[in-house]
Structures are given as structure tokens and as C-alpha cells.
Structure 1
Amino acid sequence: MLASGLCFVAVTGIVRYLGTDLPTAQSAFIRFAFGGVFLLPALIPILRGGFAPGALRLFGLRGFVHACAVVCWFYAMARIPVAEVTAIGYLNPVLVTLGAALFFGEALAFRRLAAIGVAVAGALIVLRPGVREVTDGHLAQIAAAFFFAGSYLIAKRLSERAGAGAVVAMMSFAVTLVLLPFALWVWVPVTPVQLGWLALVAAFATLAHYCMTRAFRAAPLTVTQPVTFLQLVWATALGALVFGEGVDGFVLLGGGVIIAAISYITWREARVKRRAVTPNPAETKG
């Protein structure tokens, strides 16, 4: 998780460095096109093998939703501080929890509702509406959080019809196709240096997801989830040292509140699952 967090911060830093020289849709398209090249060896056998009934429609829907999320994220990243993008992004798992209850009928007990309320309070601490200006960059990142949550919920449904490798590879392929017409519409000349940076973004993003998958296999979520808070610390340091952005204590506080809520939800779910699979001591006596 430490390596995953560092890779995600590297992605954030590079996109921030590239700024607004390239249109948002074009930058996002080039990033995912490179990602598609990296995943091509896995994608070819998946396409040859075919799909379960209804899976192709879900792949297309996820590609559209994830493309919207990526465009909003790229837009926000070029316009607001790195730490604020990272802190608001922590809302993703909270929105996934809420969406799972609304669309999949998962239980939403009072404690989980309370944790979601705490996470929303953390987001308000970061944004501080009425105290300072909430810009279009902030609104774009909030929209990105909702779209990313929608993408993850569709991925959960897809996991019942396709393997994890197919879900990841098809997402990259579908997002590239969705972004292509928008990128062509706003296309401007790209320098070799910009292409190199966007290739690096794709490489770091792929490596981040790989490291995260390895972490989930090696340890329970109750161990790995709190480590994600370090990503906000590193993002704040990157913004301050590289881009001259001030260290905002409210952003750190709000991000910490959101992470605390996420960690609590994760811990509670782990305890519930443990109770479900652990037999009563009396049941083990024969």
C-alpha cells in the first residue's frame, strides 16, 4: 500500500505538472491509450474468448462512466492543489458504500450511516463552502468521486460475469474508445516530452493498481486501509515542495476525518464477516 500510494502521488504530480497545455479529454485519452498498450497481451485472449451474456453492455457502461470520472479528475488536477484533489478523492469508497446500499440492497446500519455522515463532514472541512471560494476545479473533483464510485459499483457487478483481469483490461479498452471522439474534437499538437510524461502516468497508474492488488492479497483491509492516509501526506509535501502550494491544515484535518470514517466502515465490515464465518465454540464440540 505504501508503494501504491507513492505511485498514485506520482500520477497526480505529473498531471499537475502538465497543467492545461493539453485539453483534458486529449490528455486522458493518451494516458488510457498507453495503458491499453500495456494491457494488450492480456486483452487479446479476452476478446477471443468472448463474454458472458450482458457483460459487454456492462463493459461499455463502465467505460463511459469511468471516462467521465477521468476527464473530471484531469480537469480538477490541473486547477486545484494536489492535496485537495487527494483529500476529496477519499470520498470514493464512502460513495461506493452508499451506492451498494441504494442499488444492490446491501445493509446500511446506523453505524455505517453515521460513518458516512462523518466522511461528508470531513469533505466540508476540506471545501469550507461559504468561508472560501469553491471553484470549478473543486466541483469537478466532487463529480469525479461520484463517477469513480459508479465505475466501481459496475465493476462489482461485472466481477460476477468476468475475471479480474478481464474487468481491468476491458475498462482501459472501453475508456480509450469513449474518449477517442472527444480527444479528436479538441486535438492539439503533442510534443514528444508530453507523450513521454503521459506514458509515465499510465505506467505509474498500472503499477499502483498492481501494488494495491498485492496488498489486498497479503493483508486484510483493516490493515491496508489506514495506510492510504499517507498518500495525503505525500501529496501535501509534493504540492508544497514542487509546486509551491501552501500546506492547508484544514485539508489535512478533513482528509484525516474521511479516512477515519472509511477505516471504521472497513473494520466493522471485517468484524461482521468474521462473525459470519466463525462457528460458535459449542458447534465445534462433537
Structure 2
Amino acid sequence: MASQAQSRPVVGIFWMVFTGLMFVAVTAVVKHVGDDVPAAQAAFLRYVLGLVFLLPMIRPILAAHLTGRQKKLFWARGAVHTLAVILWFFAMARIPIAEVTAMNYLSPVYVSLGAALFLGERLPPRRLTAVIMALIGAIIILRPGVREVEIGHIAMLGTAVFFAIGYLIAKQLSGEVSAPVVVGMLSITVTVGLAPFAWAVWVTPTLSQMGWLFLVACFATAGHYSMTLAFAAAPLTVTQPVTFLQLVWAVLLGAVVFGEAMDGWVIFGGAVIMASVSFITWREAVARRNITPAVPATKV
């Protein structure tokens, strides 16, 4: 995170806006592919095709001389991230883009809860209130009893939990190894983890489908890279609120390209969650801590 002396908020906001556009592009392509390729296989192909971006990270990984404990943590992170990615691809084909985007905002909230439960972090009353408000935002989106809660919604709840667990593990490792090692090991472990799931449901993809899924890998990689540029330019308290624009773009994309109805309750619920996440981020900045991730940090 940029120091106050080096902070360049306009640059940070620019890169976070670009990051959001990249991840919205990811959701658009995955939505376009839909059920034509099973979720586990689509996720596997996204990671296999993205291994080309792993080449610069091979040397740092080999030079890291990972300990047995670190390897176990990396594989544990890969396992939960594998489940998260499968569930995300599954949900993407079944519920509107706006709902997937809004519910993904829950991951940073689960990170705050997990840090308090498992890492001994304090959860003061104001942060606890923000967590509760975020969960209320999720209820506003789902509206159980008012409308049918679909299996895609349940999948997204699981996605947010697994992404949060993966982030907490990465947080433990980030102080021990370099960022290229963390990113590279995630790509390797998730690719291996997805392989048996993909094999179980394999259908022969067309060249067109392979091309679309390679685009997913390109957009996701560009999004993660531009996110690091945003973090280097400005504090998370500046860039985090910008991620709410992803929901705006997701709503427009769903309506204009995929003919999905605009649901005001989804937008309102997403805004409540995002406001809660932004408040938690601000409180952590005041306390000079750094636990809650940016929303894009918990992405495919």
C-alpha cells in the first residue's frame, strides 16, 4: 500500500477503475460461454490457458526454497480457491451478473470475521456493526421468502466464504515470500486442483470456446496486475470505494448485452455491503492494520 507521502490518488483510482473493467469483462465472457462448457472444466481451462503468464514467476518460485509448512499452506489455499472458482463459474451461468458481482463483495466481510475468529484480530463494536450491516445487505439481495433463492445464490455464498479462507491463508504467507511466489503458487495449485473435477465432466471444447476462455485468462491476469498498480499508487481507503463501480457496470452489462432485468434491491443490497466494506477498510487504516482485502483481491 502506498505511503501517505507517495500517495497518488488519481493514479490509484484510474488503475482500480481499469481493474474493475477487466473483471467485468471476465464475467461477461464467462456468462457468454455459459453452460456450454461445465463449470469445473471452464475453470480448469481458464487456469491452464493462463499458465503462459506464469513463466516469469518460475524462477522466483524455485529460488524461494519453500519449507514444508509453506507448501502445505499453499496447497491448502489452492484447495479452497479451487472450490471457490468452480462455484463462481457455476453461479455465473445461473444467476444474473449483477447478483454474482454484488454477492462477491461479501468476501472481505468474511475475511474480517475469519481474522477475528482464527487470527486473534480484534472485532470492535463499530466493525462488528459494519459486518452485520453487510450480512443484512446480502439478505436484501436474496430476499428469502419473498422470492426463490436459487442454487446459484447458494453457490455464490460458498464462493465468498472459500475466497475469504484463501485470502487469510495468503495473508499468512505474504510476509514470508514474495508476491510473484504467492501468485505463481496459486496458479499451479489451482490448476492441479481443478484437473480431476474437469476430467469428471469433460466435454470436447470447440476452438471458439477455447478462445473465449483464453480471453478470460487474459482479462483476469490484467485485472490482478492493474490492481497491484492501484495498491502501489494509493491507499486502500482511496481505491476500495471505486470497486462499487463494478456493480454499476455489471447491471448495465446484464441489461444491455444479456437482457437481464435491473433489480433495484440487488443494487441497494450491493451498496449496503460495499459501504460496510469501505467502513471496515477505513477503520483498519485508522488503526494502522491491513487485514481486509480489496474486493478484486478475491476474484478468479
Q: What's the counterpart of residue 127 of structure 1? A: 142
Q: Secondary structure at the match of 1:166?
A: helix
Q: Of residues 95, 111, 128 in structure 2, which corresponds to 1:96?
A: 111
- Paired residues of 2:105 and 2:270 also in contact (CA < 8 A): yes
Given that 1:55 and 1:162 are in contact with CA atoms closer than 8 Å, whether structure 2 keeps it comes out as no
> Please, which of 168, 171, 175 is the counterpart of residue 156 of structure 1?
171
Equivalent residue, structure 1, for 2:41? 26
- Residue 54 of structure 1 aligns to a residue in which SS? helix
Instruction: Work out the CA distance in 1 between the residues paired with 2:130 and 2:60.
Output: 42
Residue aligning to 2:298: none
> Is the Cα–Cα contact under 8 Å of residues 94 and 152 in structure 2 kept in the other structure?
yes
TM-score (norm 2): 0.89
Could you say which residue in structure 2 is the equivalent of 1:218? Answer: 233
- What percentage of residue pairs aligned between the two structures are identical? 59
* Alignment pair present for 1:205 and 2:209: no
Partners of 1:125 and 1:49 in 2: how far apart? 45
Match of 1:4 in 2: 19
In the alignment, is residue 249 of structure 1 matched against residue 264 of structure 2? yes
Query: Cα offset for 1:185?
Result: 1.7
**One-letter amino acid of the structure 1 residue matched with residue 125 of structure 2:** F
- Once the two structures are superposed, residues 182-222 of structure 1 have per-residue CA deviations (whole angstroms, 9 ceiling, x without a partner) of 11121111111100100000110011011111111111111
Structure 2 Cα separation of the partners of residues 53 and 164 of structure 1: 19
Which ranges in structure 2 are unaligned for 5 or more consecutive residues?
1-15, 290-300
Task: Report deviation, 1:43.
Answer: 2.1
Deviations 1:243-272 (CA, angstroms, capped at 9, x unpaired): 000110001100000011011111111112
Query: Is the 2:64–2:181 contact (alpha carbons within 8 Å) kept by the matching residues of 1?
Result: no
**Which of 50, 72, 75 pairs up with 1:60?**
75
8 Å CA contact retained: 1:43, 1:170: no
State the TM-score, normalizing by the size of structure 1. Answer: 0.94
Q: Which residue of 2 aligns with 1:231?
A: 246
Deviation at 1:48, TM superposition (A): 5.2
- Describe the superposition over 1:55-107 as per-residue Cα deviations: whole angstroms up to 9, x where unpaired: 11111111110000000000000000000000000001000011011110001
Q: Answer yes or no: is 1:118 the counterpart of 2:133.
A: yes
Higher Cα Rg, which structure:
1
Structure 2 match to 1:259: 274
CA distance in 1, matches of 2:275, 2:56: 39
CA contact (8 A) 2:51 2:187 kept: yes
Q: Which runs of 4+ in 1 moved over 2 A?
A: 47-50
Question: In 1, Cα distance between the equivalents of 2:167 and 2:158?
Answer: 14
Matched, 1:43 2:81: no
Q: Is residue 60–residue 180 contact of structure 2 (8 Å, CA) maintained in 1?
A: no
1:77 to 92, 97, 117: 92
User: How far apart, CA to CA, are the structure 1 residues paired with 2:256 and 2:135?
Assistant: 29
* Amino acid across the alignment from 1:94: V
- CA 182–44 in structure 1, closer or farther in 2 if over 3 Å, else same: farther
Match of 2:12 in 1: none
**SS in structure 2 at match of 1:190:** coil
In the TM superposition, residue 47 of structure 1 has moved relative to its aligned partner by: 2.8
Distance 2:64 2:268 in 1: 48
